[in-house]
Amino acid sequence: MKIMALGTLATALLFATPAIAKDTVPQFKSVEAKHFPRAEGVELSPAFSDYLYAELRAELTKAKLFGQVIGEDEVVDEADAPKSLVIVGTIMEYKKGSVVKDALIGFGAGMRSLKVDANVSRRSNQQNLTAIHVHVKVSPRWDEKVMARFAAKNIVKQLKDSLKAEAKTS
Amino acid sequence: MDSSRVAALRWSALLVCTLLSVQARAEDPKPTPENTITVQLAEPVKPQTFARPLKFFLVDVIDRSGNAQPMMVFKPRGGIFLDRTPVEITRAGLETCLKSANMLAADRDSADFLLTIYLFNFGLSDSSMDFFGKVEFAAMLKNPKTAKSQQVAASGTSIAGVAIRKKNIQKNIQEDIERAFSDALRNLLRGAKLRDAVAALDSPANLAPAPARSSAAPAATDKPLF
């Protein structure tokens, strides 16, 4: 009898777990990431901005925080605007780094670095939800696209943390 | 004696160069059914709705990429080729999307707007780390009644991971280009740029219903010519 009861409980739990997982409704209906322009004096390849944008979209899709990740300048229904976010940002600083310093000194000297500032706002009333500051440091031997990937991951992580914190307080 | 040695050296160098070039030509990948991919939309992109129902006619798609081999998307490992030219894929994709929303005009005369697409990039962009799919084009939107036109740029990107097996590389590249293509079409058809261009080019007479004419003051066009 006990075995049967335990078996029934285990079966119920097995069926309930995926159902719970499926019930998570995204907090926001859509999010739009814009291409990040460069601040004056930032020297990066022309493709970098495109790559950062594509990585950011890929990371936002992976995060599963939003119903859909829409393209840049896409039209959104007015009814959906309060539940839609827009991410705008600027590449503030880029330091190329030095392979020689990295090899001879080490301990972070000569690292390639990138600073990105981003703002997340609500589409309907332009209310600023969170400000994101990302500083990425990678080896000067690595491709700049690695930096774009790390920056995108960091931006989405900070956004996720901030939205979770906001949800808890409200 | 010395001159004959130099001549022999020259001839041998020439022979080596010729052999190398023949080998290189032999290594140029060729399209086969095994290394050819079919890029098509998984589902048509739904265009945005306008103030009044509009019909578009796709006049032409022009390749401006300057790519000598537009169908070859990946050169290493025996190459990967598209089954149709980017021009044909773009035309088919755009027509499918417009047709699905009943926005494709049957002919030029019945269209509210004429579309000419200039294709700048279709395929993979340079990236050593992964596959970076990029589709970029500009649509020239023309109102045939007023002959005014405006350009709308659209682009789509996608990133797919690298693979080791040829089969997986082919699958990843196909999915990557399909996503980028779908993204570019979405960027055009659901974009605010197209909405603004249509609003700017649409003649006011079509936007608002024509006001009732009073019999006392007939319009200039209503006057008899003879």
Q: What is the DSSP string of B67-130?
A: -S-TTEEE-STT-EEESS-HHHHHHHHHHHHHHHTT-B-SSSTT-SEEEEEEEEEEEEEP-SSS
Number of independent structural domains in chain A = 1
Mean pLDDT of A141-168: 89
b/e burial code for range B64-76 (CB count within 10 A of at least 16 → b): ebeeeebbbbbee
B152 within a domain of the structure (yes/no): yes
B167 vs B181: CA distance, rounded Å: 21
Nearest C-alpha in B relative to A148: B129
- Whichever domain contains B124, its CATH number is 3.40.50.10610
B50 within a domain of the structure (yes/no): no
A4 within a domain of the structure (yes/no): no
Number of independent structural domains in chain B = 1
A20 within a domain of the structure (yes/no): no
Report which listed range, B65-74, B105-114, B120-129, is most confident.
B105-114
b/e burial code for range B7-41 (CB count within 10 A of at least 16 → b): eeeeeeeeeeeeeeeeeeeeeebeeeeebebebeb
Q: Give me the domain span that covers residue A101.
A: 26-169
Q: Does A92 touch chain B (CB under 8 A)?
A: no
B175-210 pLDDT, tens digit per residue, is 999 999 999 999 999 999 999 999 999 876 555 554
A114 within a domain of the structure (yes/no): yes
Radius of gyration of chain A (CA): 21
Complex ipTM? 0.74
Q: What is the pLDDT of residue A17?
A: 54
How many angstroms separate the first and last alpha carbons of chain B? 101
Nearest of A166, A101, A122, A139 to residue A30 by alpha carbon = A122
A13 within a domain of the structure (yes/no): no
Are A71 and B183 inside 8 Å of each other by CB?
yes
Are B192 and A75 inside 8 Å of each other by CB?
yes
Question: What sign does the CA torsion over B174, B156, A116, A141 have?
Answer: positive
Q: Does A166 touch chain B (CB under 8 A)?
A: no
A16 within a domain of the structure (yes/no): no
Q: Give me the domain span that covers residue B69.
A: 65-201
Taking CB atoms and an 8 Å cutoff, what residues of chain B touch A45? none
Are A54 and B187 inside 8 Å of each other by CB?
no
- Whichever domain contains A47, its CATH number is 3.40.50.10610
B132 within a domain of the structure (yes/no): yes
Instruction: Supply the DSSP symbol for B224.
Output: -
Mean pLDDT of A62-77: 88
Size of interface A-B (CB pairs under 8 A): 45
B117 within a domain of the structure (yes/no): yes
Q: Does B84 touch chain A (CB under 8 A)?
A: no
Identify the residue among A35, A49, A51, A150 best suited for mutation to test binding to B, counting B beta carbons within 10 A and taking the highest.
Answer: A51
- Residue A120 near residue A159, CB atoms below 8 Å: yes
Query: What pLDDT band is residue B225 in, cutting at 50, 70 and 90?
Result: very low
A31 within a domain of the structure (yes/no): yes
A11 within a domain of the structure (yes/no): no
A107 within a domain of the structure (yes/no): yes
- In angstroms, the Cα distances linking B78 to A123, B36, B104, B125, B177 are 48, 11, 39, 18, 19
Q: What is the pLDDT of residue A6?
A: 66
